[in-house]
Amino acid sequence: MKVMINAVKFKTDRKLEDFINEKVKKLSSNYTDIIGSEVILKLDNTEDLDNKVAEIRLMIPGNDLFAKKNCKTFEGATDQAVEALRKQLIKHKEKIRGI
């Protein structure tokens, strides 16, 4: 699975990119038909501490799944978004199987 990482108005470091790749690629253990994914990292223009945003779009046959989470760190936001996508993938698999 190909993971594209886009950072809006800043440059990510290698450690963050490796972390995101590892987390997103783990989703393919739940669902093998994932075509690819796009991760967008950005900073909200707020005074709130939860201003780091991770948006993940997962491309699967038929449609795309999407999750957007805010957190104090990009790692935390990525964790939350990946967990939301994992739940969406489980529901999608159940829907396909007709459960």
Where along the chain do its domains lie?
2-97
Q: Assess contact for 59 and 92: CB atoms under 8 A.
A: no
pLDDT in tens, 53-68: 999 999 998 889 999 9
Please tell me the distance from the alpha carbon of residue 82 to that of residue 99, in angstroms, as a whole number: 23
Return the CATH class of domain 2-97. alpha beta
Please tell me the distance from the alpha carbon of residue 9 to that of residue 21, in angstroms, as a whole number: 20
pTM value is 0.89
Task: Give the pLDDT of residue 29.
Answer: 84
Q: How sure is the predictor about 99, in pLDDT bands with cuts at 50, 70 and 90?
A: low
Q: How is residue 83 written in tokens?
A: 């967990």
DSSP state of 99: -
